[in-house]
Amino acid sequence: MASLYFLHALGGSAREWDRVVAALSDDFDCIPLDLPGFGGSADAASDVTGLVDWFAAEVGRRQPQSWAVIGHSMGGKIATLAAARARGGDPSFAGLAAVVLLAASPPAPEPMAEDRRAKMIGWCAGGGIGTADAEAFIDANTAASLSGPDRAQAIADVERSGCAAWTAWLERGSREDWRSEAGIIALPALIVAGGEDGDLGVEAQRRLNLPHYRDARVEVVDGAAHLLPYERHAEVAALIRDHVAPAFARALPASFAALLASDRVSRRARAAMMDRHAAPDAAGTLSTAQRATLVALIETLLPGAVDAPDLARRIDASLAEGRGDGWRLADLPADALAWQWGLDTLEAQTLGFASASAARREEALRAIGEDSGEDGGGEALIERRHMRLWFAEARAEVARQWVALPATMARIGYDGFAVGGDDMPLPGYRLTAANTREPWQSPLGAPA
């Protein structure tokens, strides 16, 4: 069962997620955590590095194979920086499949009026936060007053917040600038804002959090402010479910993920593999019609073996970025132009390759590949020759990008990437005879 890790807001605790967890626990292993100094845990004046290190230890202790992190407010900054570490190959965060941010503090310094910051720090002047101040904090962060047990619980959590942790976040953690370290993260992210939130509302989320995710969307919850897990628990749970379910569906098999996270794989190799596995950039150079023809081409070359639209987006993105295999045929133009011309010509020659039957597509490609180009002449001969060259290049590129995907490696049982960890340089293979496997290879499903 895939795992969901929940990180609460300043002044909150694992209990703020009770109703959200109740709605999700039948389908996911839900792990709400008390951040250091909150929820009755030992008080600690942690900076952002310390909080991310603490989270790494919590995740590493459980070693989930496929998981998502949900970060609320203060917890959102930790979630984003954990995702950045996962991108960098940190084994503690291996298997992270998705991120959900609720009214999240950004990697940048959190927007907050300095007089309000000073007032909140002053609440701890007497050694603890009093009931009146806790009530004021909760009421200022909700669109409408919470009622009954929810209000009592939220206030009690603020009151039992450790003053070292509370003050450290307001004085340092919320002010720390981690934008360069966060960079651009390829993991799918859902960013949720309360329609009536103040400092961390939708404008702040779009400006400060959205730019750090390549594959993200923003959702606004109307009639709610900052304490979303209390104010709109059912809607929050539904948003989380809808976001993480497809991410888990495309997650790497647990056995492969375990090998990828092992000490036989370096951080650099792990980061490269996870970047390949992430959803491709939507930007490209092909038109919608050309992309549809490319999808049909991939479906014909690799029937049933690959997510053709996904691979088409990857090829298109590499064309837009100018990434290739380092060479091209002299008779063809630059890669992007060659692909545009080739796909357009394929569509025209077949009178609709994208909409043709599988048999018609195979027939058309076979004719291109087997055409000797010896009969005829003039422009037609040049076009046929160029199409034959382009089709050879296209086949190679489709195969190259498909085989490079970690999902393909998992499917065929390839483990050649697991031959050089950071602390285990070049361990290589000991057994090289046919049909033999080493003990470390057994996670891939073959006999040890």
**Position 394 pLDDT exceeds 60:** yes
**Position 347 pLDDT exceeds 70:** yes
Q: Which of 145-159, 255-269, 352-366 has the lowest mean pLDDT?
A: 255-269
What are the structure tokens assigned to 130, written together?
């009093």
Q: What are the phi and psi torsion angles at 179 (to 5°)? A: -60, -45
**Position 141 pLDDT exceeds 80:** yes
335-349 and 358-370 are packed helices; what angle lies between their axes, rounded to 10 degrees? 120
**Position 387 pLDDT exceeds 80:** yes
Contacts 24+ apart (CB under 8 A), 307-311: 310/279, 310/280, 311/398, 311/401, 311/402, 311/405
Going by C-beta distance under 8 Å and a sequence separation of 6 or more, which residues neighbour residue 333? Answer: 341
- CA-to-CA distance for 173 and 434, rounded, in angstroms? 55
Q: Which residues pair with residue 185 across a beta bridge?
A: 213
Quick one: average pLDDT of 237-258? 92
Cβ proximity of 259 and 409 under 8 Å: no
Q: Where are the domains of the chain?
A: 3-249, 283-406
Cβ proximity of 109 and 176 under 8 Å: yes
Starting at the earlier edge strand, list the strands of the sheet with 67-72.
29-33, 3-7, 67-72, 96-102, 185-194, 213-221
Q: Which of 129-133, 185-189, 204-208, 435-439 has the lowest mean pLDDT?
A: 435-439
Please report, for the chain, how many H helices and E strands are present, in that order. 19, 6
Residue 272 or residue 30, greater confidence: 30
What amino acid is encoded at 55 in this protein? F
Contacts 24+ apart (CB under 8 A), 321-330: 321/281, 324/397, 325/396, 325/397, 325/400, 328/393, 329/389, 329/393
Q: Which of 67-76, 259-268, 337-346, 394-403 has the lowest mean pLDDT?
A: 259-268
- In this prediction, residue 312 carries a pLDDT of 96
Quick count: other Cβ atoms within 10 Å of Cβ 305? 13
What are the structure tokens assigned to 137, written together?
């904090």
Quick one: average pLDDT of 427-448? 72
- In this prediction, residue 369 carries a pLDDT of 83
Cβ proximity of 205 and 218 under 8 Å: yes
- CA-to-CA distance for 122 and 115, rounded, in angstroms? 10
**Position 331 pLDDT exceeds 90:** no
**Position 179 pLDDT exceeds 60:** yes
Q: 444 falls in which pLDDT band (50, 70, 90)? A: low
| Cα–Cα distance list, 329 to 90, 165, 326 (Å) | 40, 62, 11
| Cα–Cα distance list, 343 to 297, 319, 338, 364 (Å) | 9, 13, 8, 13
Q: Which residues pair with residue 101 across a beta bridge?
A: 71, 191
- CA-to-CA distance for 325 and 43, rounded, in angstroms? 54
Quick one: average pLDDT of 77-106? 95
Element (DSSP H or E) covering residue 343 = helix 335-349
Q: Could you identify the residue written with the tokens 């009690």?
A: 156
Quick one: average pLDDT of 128-155? 96
- CA-to-CA distance for 16 and 9, rounded, in angstroms? 9
- The CATH superfamily label for domain 3-249 reads Alpha/Beta hydrolase fold, catalytic domain (3.40.50.1820)
**Position 45 pLDDT exceeds 80:** yes
Q: Which of 70, 72, 144, 74 is nearest to 107 (CA)?
A: 74
**Position 427 pLDDT exceeds 80:** no
pLDDT digits (tens, 9 = 90+) for 3-33: 999 999 999 999 999 999 999 999 999 999 9
Cβ proximity of 153 and 19 under 8 Å: no
- Residue 88, judged by CB atoms within 10 A of its CB (0-12, 13-18, 19+), counts as middle
- In this prediction, residue 376 carries a pLDDT of 47
**Position 282 pLDDT exceeds 50:** yes
**Position 372 pLDDT exceeds 80:** no
| Cα–Cα distance list, 153 to 12, 30, 158, 166 (Å) | 9, 20, 9, 18
**How big is the chain, counted in residues?**
448
- CA-to-CA distance for 204 and 290, rounded, in angstroms? 37
- In this prediction, residue 379 carries a pLDDT of 58
Cβ proximity of 444 and 289 under 8 Å: no
Q: Which of 69-73, 257-261, 295-299, 386-390 has the lowest mean pLDDT?
A: 257-261
Quick one: average pLDDT of 119-124? 96
**Position 445 pLDDT exceeds 70:** no
- In this prediction, residue 353 carries a pLDDT of 95
Q: 446 falls in which pLDDT band (50, 70, 90)? A: very low
What are the structure tokens assigned to 168, written together?
């450290």
**Position 156 pLDDT exceeds 70:** yes
- CA-to-CA distance for 239 and 301, rounded, in angstroms? 37
**Position 443 pLDDT exceeds 60:** no
- CA-to-CA distance for 206 and 185, rounded, in angstroms? 15
Q: Which residues pair with residue 190 across a beta bridge?
A: 100, 217
Residue 101 or residue 335, greater confidence: 101
Averaged pLDDT of the chain? 91
Quick count: other Cβ atoms within 10 Å of Cβ 380? 11
74-87 and 267-277 are packed helices; what angle lies between their axes, rounded to 10 degrees? 110
- CA-to-CA distance for 240 and 187, rounded, in angstroms? 15
